[in-house]
Structure 1
Amino acid sequence: MNTTSTLDNGILFLTLTGDLIGSPDTQQLLDSVNEYLGEAVTNCAVDLSGIRYINSTGIGVLVSLLTKFRSRGGEMILINPADHPKKMLALTKLNNIFTVAADVAAARQQLTVAAS
């Protein structure tokens, strides 16, 4: 899995590509997010459009990230999950827990409203 991150107006944008499964990549993702949390970032948008496959460990990482941001009074939004992640979220009924946005602009708008 490859991860890119950018910080824009206090919102952390993560773009994930490849497979979101248990590996050193997921720990690097969590460590990277923890560094941003040290900078008082409370909102995050995770682009899942480039994720081909996600397993239970990958779902656990997303839940962990959601918990981190909500415990700080913030929010995390998933952007345009690809087919397999979308099916896994529905199968685990986590699609009722996560907020999903169609694109980056919609996620930015929802997080900006949430922050005010």
Structure 2
Amino acid sequence: MADQGNVIHMTIDEDSGIPIWLQLRNRLIYLITSGAFAPGDKLPTMRQLAVDLGINYNTVSRVYQDIERDGYIISQRGRGTFAHDGYLKQELAAGSAAESLADAFILQCRELGVPREDIAKLVEGRLRAAER
């Protein structure tokens, strides 16, 4: 298990068009699934992460709650928040990590009011742009 000094090396790109909470969520999930945080490793406190990234505490709290629900972390009152491998069971049930990202993207588009057809066009356009 890693020490309590784990630091999340990341930045928030306020000009990216991707909501801050989604950038943070995706980065934390990547750090956990890539092994940068092994199961049992302590994550920074919500307050510390908010200060380090210069973002609202409530944003960090929302992300921690979201990824805890998905099994990536586990919170223990009075001890802290730790990386967890519960997501593996959920991934097997729900499909691949890419499918989970696609689901999150679709949900965000729908919350923005983007019609289904436009979501598909957007993805196609971004795929073409990425191939250049």
**TM-score class normalised by the smaller sequence:** 0.3 to 0.5
Q: What TM-score does the superposition give when structure 1 sets the normalisation length?
A: 0.38
Q: What TM-score does the superposition give when structure 2 sets the normalisation length?
A: 0.34
Look at both structures and tell me which one has the larger radius of gyration over its CA atoms. 2
Between structures 1 and 2, the one with greater helix share: 2
Between structures 1 and 2, the one with greater strand share: 1
Higher RCO, Cα 8 Å, sep 6+: 1
